[in-house]
Homo-oligomer: A and B are copies of this chain.
Amino acid sequence: LSVVELVTIGTELLLGETVDSNGAWLARRLAVAGIRVARRTSVGDNADAIREAVRDALERTGRVICTGGLGPTDDDMTRPVVARLLGRPLEPDARTLEDVEARFRRRGLVMAERNRAQADVPRGAEVLRNRRGTAPGLLMEDGASRWVVLLPGVPHEMRTIVEEELLPRLEVRLADRRPIRSRTLRTSGIAESTLAERVSDVVRDAAPLTVAFLPSFAGTDIRLTSWGELDADSVDGALDAMERALRDRVGDHVYGLDGTDLAEVVAEELAARDTRLALAESCTGGLLAKRLTDAAGASRFLIGGVVAYSNQVKRELLGVPAHVLEAEGAVSEETARAMAEGARRVLSADAAVAITGIAGPEGGTADKPVGTVWIAAALAERVTARRFLFPGERDEVRQRSAQAALEALLQLLRSEEP
């Protein structure tokens, strides 16, 4: 019974002018409350399309939450369309009209006539007051355990109504629900298919948890979800057990949980060891420095960096020997090592990481095709270096290079005998 459908209404969604952040927020908020969204539908500001979408959802699932189309203008038609679909006449609601009028008064404005329609509610509907705008939410029950909720499309109004008015009412109606809960293990440095093979038997026995693999430039995430089969007392234990089983197989590639960024993990590790970092970037052109300074507090561990885009800077600021650049080229193990060592020395750092590669689309050769990247990490006198061949276009090569550099640095830090 704790399954609903979402219908988001607005022509801008069909034109792709806005992402459906209302739908995403609602889905997330409902999941946390243990309510499962079975389907999301978006239609335009069009009476037929709205009626069809709500009718289909009612027939399939019986419980529908709509957002959008409750405003005062002519393209706002959700309320009359749904009222007609449920066979309920619209009638003025005195308290809502008062709320709307008071809202205008407080702002020193006179209510426009067209706002009056916003106080018309379908007969028998429960009004979900809108403290933050003029269009109230509406809850209409249609027989046993069938209902339709209408919410305004303005995000902060919608969210406030959901928190204050809707969720308390759904709690009562969906008393049988169990939490839907997810946990994501973030991995890097291992291909999705290799990962899937290594954990295939664990995944096979995961039920009632489900497992999904989500690849991106940052690596592959493994997401575990309990869809409400487990109750609040046992769900955490099941997720813990599953996490342990996965870590047994691929633990060295797991850098964090849920929203954790690898840059944060590296930052914590550096700060904990009181190790100060310098950067030397060629093809990533500042991307790694940007990532390490996205979060506040980078001054705890980051001294600074050199964007050594030209060979001149590699020579003059980082001290890469001219003969190395000539004999081995800017994209080579020797140059990467000299950049890391140079950055550490010149910036008086404890550790350094260097990236030099061919991000493309130009500059590739048979020997060193686009995507060739050398990464070196230095910690005191120890220097490691590794060659990568990344797929994809310029942006992807750069993103993957920064991620690999963070990984190389983390490995070097963790391999050190304390």
Contact = CB atoms under 8 A, between A and B. Distances in A.
Interface residues of A, number: 116
A393 interface: yes
Interface in A296-322: 296-299, 302-310, 312-313, 316-317
A106 interface: yes
B296 A285 contact: no
Contact of A13 (B27, B288, B299): B27
A313 B24 contact: no
A302 B285 CA distance: 10
A72 B391 contact: no
A396 interface: yes
Contacts of A36: 14
B42 A40 contact: yes
Interface string A12-40: 11111111110111111111000011111
A405 B36 CA distance: 44
Residue from the set A19, A25, A26, A36 with the largest chain B CB neighbour count within 10 Å? A19
A212 B69 CA distance: 11
Interface string A117-157: 00000000000000010000000000000000000001010
A391 B103 contact: yes
Given A15-B37, A16-B26, A293-B307, 15 more contacts: A14-B36, A14-B40, A16-B27, A16-B28, A39-B42, A40-B42, A56-B56, A72-B193, A108-B389, A112-B197, A285-B294, A296-B359, A304-B317, A305-B306, A313-B347
